[in-house]
Structure 1
Amino acid sequence: MSSKRTANAPTQRTQTRQTTRRPYTRTKLGCRTCKIRKVRCDETWPTCGNCTKTGRCCDGVAPAHDAQNQRMVVTFTVPLTLSHFRPSQAGGELGQGDVEYLDLFRHELVACVVGGGRVTWRRLVLQAVHEEQAPCHAAIAFSALQRARAATRSSSCGDGDGAKGLAASSEMRLALRHYGRCIQKMQCVVASGGDDDGRRVNVALLCTVICICFELCMDEPVVALSHLEHGLNIVSTNHSSVDADVALAFSRLDLQATMFLGRRAPALDMDRVAACSLSAEGGYQEADRDLTCLTSRLFSFMRTEADGFRYLEPGSVPLHVAAEAGKLDEDLSAFQGRYLAPGTQFAESGRLAETSLIRVKHLTATVLLATSLAAEEAIYDRFTPQFLDIVTLAAGLLDGPPRKTASAAGFSLDMGVVHSLYVTAGKCRHPLIRRHAVRLLDAVPGAEGAWEAKEHARIGERVMQLEERGLDLGLDMDMGSGLQLSTDWDLSRVPEWRRIHSVDIRPQNGGLRCAEVVFRWRPNGMDGEWEDFQEVMSW
């Protein structure tokens, strides 16, 4: 009897523990802020009680999807409380000074990389810098480079002695050291295998974006282009695993490289990029995405189809090429009706700076498409009112409150108004409008990706000098009181044979701030031979 009771005793105690066990209290759908703080979330919506009481930003309760049946292809979660993060993932490789550079990147210089992109794009970059070693070293390198550039500018302006130059040299060495570590870590990320291929792909791409910014600020556009081509190849071969924000960022870079390099066509499939969902934000981000895709299609058409028939005799354009141009024109008109027409939500309720920038880019795309199959340069004279609208809108953007991308670094990876103003300076033959475009280029606070504003101001100015040399313009060139003009000036005063048809820019590496510029024209008229001449221009 006693032995039997002894044998049954553990079973009874086990049953007691099972019946009195504390219930499972961890939440599966709580907000990320509570998960980071390791406190229980009450799962109220739209903001939980903990975040409401403590004044924290809450991202709301996650949707109750079946996580087991949903394949995760997004690389990072999106925290909303990044201000307290520290780069713990980098281990002992970082010192206190490195953390200071990371703070500089997180609070100021990240705007140079993300520009006017989606809020989630900014968070994604910051999360990658916090969690991964390669982007962390890239961010430190970029911040140190900006400090070195600032010290160099201050020293060259006479605001200090040799100490400023010594500080710049020290900052530059630090930047190059961390840049080397970034490349090593990125190679390890790409080479490493595992089940989480989507995360590895996106880490490499995010790091590539920061490296492109670094090389452009080093005045190494050829190296930056090499980074971009490798990144585009990764995006194309791993599209299903690439985050939507990363794909949109590379589509903008792809378009920017196409605009900068005269014979390059876009590499990405714009149909896939256009499918990236923006339903959570809409507004400017959606308009910018749709216009980026449209402009990429336009440049793909120009590079692969239209350029082969440009400046040929009228009537030599095949029907299928003309039909494709007509389809693009319909799409641009539909974009205008959807976003820019009076009464549309974006045109009425969007921010003035955002709607003005979209209008500038749309006007430029409209002019480029309408002239892409023309036989002569005089076709641009029909669009003098559009050129006037471009400089007027651009002047409002530059005179208004500075955009976030126009930071103290004087660099933004996003495209703004430089390309549109450069097209106006080179292709609009109205003397006052093109001069105003050059003045606005000089007023742009820095570079927009590969587009150095002052470089293109000098090139546009040179084109203007070549075309107007020896002409009596009959206009008062004093624009000190603003741009007050009419568009009825006789543009035929600049004859076809004097007009520059194309300009090919070949930048020099090594921070020389000069470029070899090749001008092309037909000095003997439309039936004459093409002639090229080149000059080295500095700014």
Structure 2
Amino acid sequence: MRGASGVRTSHKKERSGYGSMFRCLKDPSVLITLSCLTCKARHVKCDESKPVCFRCQKLGVLCGGYRTKKEWYPPSSSTSAKVLLPRTQYLSQPLTSLFDTTDEQRYFALFSEKIVAELLPYFDPNPWRYMILQACAAEPSIRHAATAIGALGKTFESAQSGRGRRPGVIHHRAPALGGPTDAAQRVKGRISRKEQIEEAVLHHQYALQQYHKAIKQMQNIASGNTIRTALITCIIIACFENLHGNQDSASTQLQSGIALLQEWKKSERDATKYPMGFSSPAPDEIEDYLVQFFGRVEIQSMSFRDARPAECHLQLQEEGKEVIQQMPALLTSINQARVYLDLITRRMMHFTAAMNYFQASYAQYLHASATSVAGPWIDSKLYPNVTKILQHPPSNDPYFSGQQDLNSEMSSWFMAFTPLLNRSIEAGGQDCISALTLSIVATTVSISLRAAFIKAEEEYSLFESDFNSIVNQAELLLKTLELRTPKTKPTLAFSFDLGVIPPLYLTSVKCRVLEIRKKALELLTKYPRREGLWDSVTTAALGRWVIEMEEEASDEGFVPEQSTVRKPCIAVDWLERKATMTCLKMDKETGRFMGRRKEITW
């Protein structure tokens, strides 16, 4: 057979993600591929139709056409991972012609080279980076949104460099979302604080311009978007809204994406075999990674605010149960452990949300004896033997049996994961960070499950060792993460994934040991960051307020049940730079729970 240049090539095809590929006999380093550029970049098989391939038309992406000259690819490319994503080095070349101005290219370069990977610090960011950058290359609206995020990164960096404090004013400090410029560096460059602030304003204005351009283009082409493009659009918009402080808008975007994906799954064959967050029923349209990503997005959304009716949670609480039952006895990789933990976590959150639907029936137990209680909402003030009842629940109660099933799943996961955790901690680096994150999250899920039926705050003393484990592992994780982050590297201190903030917050408000609670607050404050819809500094302010109110009536560290705080909550207005904290606490005279409120500013 003759190649494009007349060089004789072998007739044996190479197996690769690029489609038909031949190796030159004269020079084995020369490969001639017949697949289109888009399929080659995405590592999928190309049908080699001319002038554009049918696969690209089906997915609604721009076909890059075919190259005629010979190219060399490293041998590893023939065994690339099964992912519908491009390599970033391939993406960097054509992107130079996709920008209208040098400023646009400069801000996007910051996003693509630094920020996109920093958005997922707890796990391997490469699949995420490939997915987002490939979407940026194919869809201008997503590219403009990414450019806007890059401009926000410069905004935070400049604002932190020029931010000052008014003397004599106590601030509840907001998280440092940009790496501060060293003071000596600022003096050397003769840049004043005022100039830094003015520069931040210019970066912010450009970010808003790019974001509005992205929204306008999304509206113009919405009808022609593929489901995959629409899902990635939800992600990138939610990311910008989160960084900009519009958490409600970000939550709405994420929930829209969840609903869109669930509707798409219903239309696919055997959809029940592919639970949310595990795998895709049609990987040619939406890859497994994107389905798994939205499984974690749903967990995050439920942890913040979930407006879906209880009937929805009742339908979804069994999703993934059959897959979890087939979990291997030993988990061999971080991603494998993560996927199974996500399935269990989603089941737990749907289970507890569905339980709340029936909490009104708790009233029927108020005048019943402890032995006749048929449901889970037990108050230890009414039933002193509550711990004994919880340890030996009625076997015929559906709520308790549901809890036991989930506890069994968590126990199996811990047994399968522990050897991997030990190896990863010993190895250090990214593996250590990822494994510790999974362990902390799993311990938090386990506490939430076992405490599902507890009504008295003092019963959380049963989980002292678990809370202590969360604090110790979080400290090791954050120190390891800090060592891996260069001091001079700009960072947003923002993660799209949940990591340490919800576990440390739970510890600060529920743990009954003051020393452990204060250690959790110290970590939230010392390592300021934002994770999805959660913010560490405002969360620490809420935890500190809860501790202060409970310490008012503490006796040598012991807080009586009637002095504990219930339902602490915080509403943050990032644009106005203020937050309102609320909670319930029992009034000593009336014996009723009364609302408490406090506002903070920064």
Query: Normalized against structure 2, the TM-score is what?
Result: 0.69
Partner of 2:203: 171
Q: Cα offset for 1:111? A: 1.8
Which amino acid in the other structure matches residue 322 of structure 1? Answer: F
Q: Cα offset for 1:348? A: 7.7
1:102 to 2:102 alignment: no
SS at match of 2:341: helix
RMSD (CA atoms)? 4.2
Q: Cα offset for 1:532? A: 2.1
1:273-323 alpha-carbon deviations (Å, 9 max, x no partner): 9979x99x9611221222122112111111221574489756241611111
Measure the CA separation in 2 of the matches of 1:61 and 1:259: 35
Partner of 1:148: 155
Which amino acid in the other structure matches residue 302 of structure 1? Answer: T
Percent of aligned pairs with the same amino acid: 21
Q: Cα offset for 1:177? A: 1.1
Measure the CA separation in 1 of the matches of 2:307 and 2:587: 23
Change (3 A) 1:224 1:346: same
Measure the CA separation in 2 of the matches of 1:103 and 1:342: 36
Which amino acid in the other structure matches residue 104 of structure 2? Answer: D
Partner of 1:478: none
Q: How does 1:414-425 map to 2 (within 5 A)?
A: 414-425=497-508
Change (3 A) 1:308 1:503: farther
Q: How does 1:17-416 map to 2 (within 5 A)?
A: 31=16, 41-42=22-23, 49-50=29-30, 77-82=84-89, 85-86=92-93, 88=95, 91=98, 94-115=100-121, 116=123, 119-157=126-164, 160-192=192-224, 200-239=226-265, 240=282, 241-261=285-305, 271=319, 283-306=333-356, 308-309=358-359, 315-317=373-375, 319-340=397-418, 351-402=431-482, 408-416=491-499
Measure the CA separation in 2 of the matches of 1:41 and 1:272: 43
Contact 2:296 2:342 in 1 (8 A): yes
Q: Cα offset for 1:113? A: 3.6
Contact 2:19 2:44 in 1 (8 A): no
Measure the CA separation in 2 of the matches of 1:354 and 1:269: 27
Q: How does 1:505-516 map to 2 (within 5 A)?
A: 505-508=570-573, 510-516=574-580
Change (3 A) 1:150 1:300: same
Which amino acid in the other structure matches residue 571 of structure 2? Answer: R
The one of 459, 462, 467 aligned to 2:545: 462
Change (3 A) 1:73 1:335: farther
SS at match of 2:599: strand
Measure the CA separation in 1 of the matches of 2:137 and 2:45: 25
Contact 2:120 2:496 in 1 (8 A): yes
Measure the CA separation in 2 of the matches of 1:380 and 1:436: 17
Which amino acid in the other structure matches residue 324 of structure 1? Answer: G
SS at match of 1:502: strand
Measure the CA separation in 2 of the matches of 1:106 and 1:258: 30
Change (3 A) 1:353 1:61: closer
1:362-419 alpha-carbon deviations (Å, 9 max, x no partner): 1111111111111311110111111111111111111224367996112111111011
Measure the CA separation in 2 of the matches of 1:346 and 1:121: 22
Measure the CA separation in 2 of the matches of 1:297 and 1:404: 34
Change (3 A) 1:397 1:349: closer
1:27-51 alpha-carbon deviations (Å, 9 max, x no partner): 976656899xxxx64299xxx8348
Contact 1:105 1:140 in 2 (8 A): yes
The one of 497, 503, 524 aligned to 2:568: 503
Which amino acid in the other structure matches residue 261 of structure 1? Answer: R
Q: Cα offset for 1:243? A: 2.7
Measure the CA separation in 2 of the matches of 1:182 and 1:60: 24
Partner of 1:9: none
Measure the CA separation in 2 of the matches of 1:361 and 1:523: 35
Q: Cα offset for 1:524? A: 5.3
1:201-226 alpha-carbon deviations (Å, 9 max, x no partner): 11121122111111111111111112
Structure 1 residues 405-414 or 290-299, which shifts more? 405-414
Q: Is there any run of 5+ residues in structure 2 with no aligned partner, and where?
A: 1-5, 32-39, 62-82, 165-182, 187-191, 266-281, 377-396
Measure the CA separation in 1 of the matches of 2:577 and 2:205: 21
Measure the CA separation in 2 of the matches of 1:262 and 1:505: 16
Q: Cα offset for 1:169? A: 1.8
Query: Normalized against structure 1, the TM-score is what?
Result: 0.77
Change (3 A) 1:342 1:232: closer
Contact 1:89 1:131 in 2 (8 A): no
Partner of 2:527: 444
Change (3 A) 1:190 1:89: farther
Which amino acid in the other structure matches residue 468 of structure 1? Answer: E
Measure the CA separation in 2 of the matches of 1:275 and 1:87: 42
Partner of 2:387: none
Measure the CA separation in 1 of the matches of 2:88 and 2:490: 23
The one of 517, 520, 525 aligned to 2:581: 517
Measure the CA separation in 2 of the matches of 1:185 and 1:272: 37
Change (3 A) 1:472 1:296: same
Contact 1:73 1:242 in 2 (8 A): no
Which amino acid in the other structure matches residue 496 of structure 1? Answer: E
SS at match of 1:94: coil
SS at match of 2:569: strand
